[in-house]
Structure 1
């Protein structure tokens, strides 16, 4: 409720939390393996579980299990149309590179096709030209075509189209498919400035897993959608390393030159920040007493002086969008007017907006996908059998 500002379906949120307890063991039964708890970095050891080998290893394991169960997977098959009548799915039209077009009829449909984060033109409808400077953390194929078809055919929409999971990622990352190795977790250890070398938000507002996903939107609101994380060289081993090395300078002025920032402005910002830092006991696992006093914005926790600065340039990295299909506890899509669909279900990012009106807490995306994926599969199978 806190991270979404109350913009969530509380009943569905509580349902996900209850159901997630069984996922830890159930997903292992499907062939997925967990890695030992992460320790020593940003409280993640006590809040999050990680898949051994990451997301690709998880997907490979699930595909293998599905194939053993007799599931056939059609790769490079684009869905070009959905036949839906009175809330009832009838068939999907497919276009394939070699086999051509075909129609597949089925008794149930599960939509798990993600959001529209890779559709820059769609993003620009809400963000304007700023969307040209967004980087997309995942596949270039998540263009929202299935989502648009469903909404156009009477499925009720949920969520704000401007809300999304967006983190600060390295500005040197590729336009698509940068993945987690371009994400920066160094914000809480330093300060963040825009192209005018001005700070614009409290870098120590809350524990990092509750706040890392706000920084993409914050950077998106800055001039030219660019910002710079600046921290002292002594903290470089305190956060997970990224693909790109930090930018260094012997002096603040030299660093500013490399970042193409006004040296005098950056010097002033860092000097004022250092003067405002009040002594305390640093502890990144709690809301400690290391803070600033007398500057705006203040840094409420984890404030330490910057003596030998290093920097990362960052841009908004869009992970997934929150506009989606409204569902009930059975993962059944709701039609306009509120009537549940007879045989259409949704799971993952295409329905995450039911729970995530805005904001994010680390691990919620995988939790929503896992829990509602399982529910949608179970309910679709039950309908098919009946």
Structure 2
């Protein structure tokens, strides 16, 4: 049974946000004996932020399970994180997160979440990532059911728009609701309200006008108002405003909330050209889940922030398709015409690529070494001639999932102060502090790891503080 937030009372723990990080914090705090109020900006139907669009989470584990095909050690996880971030991470926090992730599969199952064997194809995640049975919304609904059964109070269509502090101590939140502004006092605050990816004006501060051409894969409600407030009140900012989880998504996707079904996993099976029909990066650099998140930034750097994935009939069924059908042509020239590209230029690029492809045994399940020679940029794996019609293409634009600029935290998820030290009773979890772990880059499932591990930590810490 849902319990609405009562604005006439004070809560032990006030939680901003309603996604995975917020719910893990709420459940942990409530299990610690605290009274808990969750303040979710979205309407009930759209609750949960970007968690609604997720499929899996990445956790270290020592052996195979019913849903995981083999071990994924702490050291391997850390090496993968170092590779995708190119070392731009807080190593102590990262190692702590990875160590604690080993407990999360059990803990989150205890909260009602169920897993299934992983999907196949380009995902290649059967060993490393646990897939939610029913996807992110089912996972989210399970957490809400548990939170509600424990007595967590929730208010929807409500946003924390200001904070009342006494020095570094949180006293109360100003909550803007459809009925007006309300004061919500509490003994501790957990900020788990996401990034600012839906705030195009804020994106422009880092990216410039090209941000107008970005699509937002996730919720339109993550506009960063609490993040602005925290930074404005002396909390330590961390991260680069242009760093984010950005992937190449179908250019026909809606401006907001397209989610996972607009992502395209076929880059490795063809070539990617810009509107001038020029390739601009190695499409076969690494196994897809470790490198898919670089393609949003790559496309953002192209003219008009648009690109086109070109492949032939042999590759059509090797990947999970987009919500939208591919553009099809009986010839490369016909395909170019449908894409408003120069047919001669696209033909020339395809011919140069085909001529550079070396003999090899194509195998989409491994780094197969099928490569080009004498071509810049090279394609280092899965290079196969594009020659068997019909020919296909997907137009792609940068799809922003979440931003990395956030607030600094310590290994207890406590928010750090710009002037040194830490806030007395303010914690943060999820995307609002993801930049502590993700200085750049991404690997599939890490966002959920950050949210669940730091969410649980924040909830436990806030509950313990409130009980003193």
Hey, what's the Cα distance between the residues in 2 that align with 1:260 and 1:84?
A: 56
Equivalence map 1:199-278=2 (5 Å) = 199-278=279-358
Hey, what's the Cα distance between the residues in 2 that align with 1:10 and 1:78?
A: 33
- 1:138: Cα distance to partner? 1.0
2:240 is equivalent to residue 160 of structure 1: yes
Matched with 2:161 is 80
Equivalent position to 1:139, from 201, 215, 219:
219
The SS at the match of 2:334 is: helix
2:121 is equivalent to residue 121 of structure 1: no
Equivalent position to 2:118, from 37, 45, 59:
37
Are 1:140 and 1:177, in contact at CA under 8 Å, matched by a contact in 2? yes
Hey, what's the Cα distance between the residues in 2 that align with 1:46 and 1:280?
A: 27
Equivalent position to 1:329, from 388, 399, 411:
411
Equivalent position to 1:15, from 70, 74, 96:
96
2:241 is equivalent to residue 190 of structure 1: no
Hey, what's the Cα distance between the residues in 1 that align with 2:83 and 2:120?
A: 25
2:208 is equivalent to residue 106 of structure 1: no
Equivalent position to 1:316, from 394, 398, 407:
398
- 1:149: Cα distance to partner? 0.2
- 1:338: Cα distance to partner? 2.4
Are 1:42 and 1:284, in contact at CA under 8 Å, matched by a contact in 2? no
- 1:40: Cα distance to partner? 4.0
Are 1:164 and 1:321, in contact at CA under 8 Å, matched by a contact in 2? yes
Are 2:111 and 2:146, in contact at CA under 8 Å, matched by a contact in 1? yes
Are 2:234 and 2:419, in contact at CA under 8 Å, matched by a contact in 1? no
Give runs of ≥4 in structure 1 deviating > 6 Å.
none
Equivalent position to 2:360, from 272, 277, 280:
280
Matched with 1:376 is 458
Matched with 1:93 is 174
- 1:178: Cα distance to partner? 0.2
Hey, what's the Cα distance between the residues in 2 that align with 1:266 and 1:290?
A: 22
The SS at the match of 1:108 is: strand
Are 2:369 and 2:382, in contact at CA under 8 Å, matched by a contact in 1? yes
Matched with 2:446 is 364
Matched with 1:178 is 258
Matched with 1:304 is 384
The SS at the match of 2:353 is: helix
Hey, what's the Cα distance between the residues in 2 that align with 1:338 and 1:64?
A: 39
- Uncovered stretches (5+) of structure 1, i.e. residues with no partner: none
Are 2:415 and 2:426, in contact at CA under 8 Å, matched by a contact in 1? yes
Hey, what's the Cα distance between the residues in 1 that align with 2:127 and 2:354?
A: 32
Provide the TM-score with structure 1 as the length reference: 0.98
Are 1:323 and 1:353, in contact at CA under 8 Å, matched by a contact in 2? yes
2:138 is equivalent to residue 57 of structure 1: yes
Hey, what's the Cα distance between the residues in 2 that align with 1:212 and 1:244?
A: 19
Which deviations, in whole Å up to 9, do the C-alpha atoms of 1:304-324 show, x marking residues without a partner? 010122100000000000000
Hey, what's the Cα distance between the residues in 1 that align with 2:439 and 2:246?
A: 14
Hey, what's the Cα distance between the residues in 2 that align with 1:183 and 1:288?
A: 24
- 1:294: Cα distance to partner? 0.5
Count of aligned positions: 385
Matched with 1:343 is 425
The SS at the match of 1:82 is: strand
CA RMSD of aligned residues (A): 0.9
Are 2:121 and 2:320, in contact at CA under 8 Å, matched by a contact in 1? no
Are 1:42 and 1:285, in contact at CA under 8 Å, matched by a contact in 2? no
- Uncovered stretches (5+) of structure 2, i.e. residues with no partner: 1-81
Which deviations, in whole Å up to 9, do the C-alpha atoms of 1:242-300 show, x marking residues without a partner? 21111110111110000000011000000000000001122223221200000100001
Are 2:218 and 2:401, in contact at CA under 8 Å, matched by a contact in 1? yes
